[in-house]
Amino acid sequence: MILTAVAGVASLASAVLSANLAAKAQDYLDGRISEDAFLDANEIAPLVQLLSAGPLVAAGVFGVIWMYRLATNVRTLGRATTFAPIFAIFGWMLPPFLFILPLLILRELWKASYLDNPPSSNGWRASGENRLLYLWFVVYGVIPATLTAVSLESVFNAALNLDTDTRSIAEVTASMGGAELIIGGVFSVVSAVVWILLVKQFTARHVALTGER
């Protein structure tokens, strides 16, 4: 949860710097700043983006381990889940890329962690939903994918005429769209908050089921 919070803040910072870089690229194209000023900004932003990827990757690894433990525990307790524990790992890598498979796995793990049910019974399948899970799916999967598609269209059109000169690079950079980047950064923070809440709720429900301390 700590790494998720750090990753969310780092993603927002990276988005702000990228939006600033896009604005500087447009300033350079319009003649408001020099080529050197644009190139200086173009050196800093990619470094920050690279550094911000560290907490995101680490949070992802811990998240996969956490899901795998949930999946193996409910199987050990006799819950005949549809998805094998291995899907808690590879479900994040398989298409479709809107994280539909992780959504379905988490949905089942929430139900399988239902306490008031005999271990070998399938009555847990009729237990209630965690609706926060669907909010996470929208803010983490659907909205970022939509914003990425909008940005990629502009970037692709600009890249068709890409050359090695600074002006061509600036045209591609400016086409990223500052507003889309900022919105994406804000939703990174929102999705991090929602994921932290989900982890707390899932963990509390699961600990009640397994008796872990």
The domain ranges of the chain are 2-210
What pLDDT, on the 0 to 100 scale, is given for residue 168? Answer: 74
Structure-block tokens of residue 147? 């914003």
Predicted local confidence at residue 8, as pLDDT: 92
Mean pLDDT score across all residues of the chain: 85
Rounded Cα–Cα distance for residues 142 and 179 (Å): 18
Q: Please name the residue ranges forming H helices in the chain.
A: 2-29, 35-76, 87-90, 100-112, 132-137, 143-159, 166-174, 178-210
Q: Which residues of the chain have pLDDT under 50?
A: 158
In this prediction, residue 156 carries a pLDDT of 59
What is the model's pLDDT at position 59?
A: 94
The span from the CA of 48 to the CA of 13, in Å, is 8
Classify residue 34 as left (phi > 0), alpha (psi -120 to 50) or beta: beta
> pLDDT tens digit string along 126-146?
888 999 999 999 999 888 888
Asked if 133 and 107 touch (Cβ cutoff 8 Å), the reply is yes
Tokens standing for residue 172 = 């591609």
Cα–Cα distances in angstroms (integers) from residue 73 to residues 91, 112, 129, 188, in the given order: 18, 10, 20, 30
Report pTM: 0.83
- 192 neighbors 6 (Cβ within 8 angstroms): no
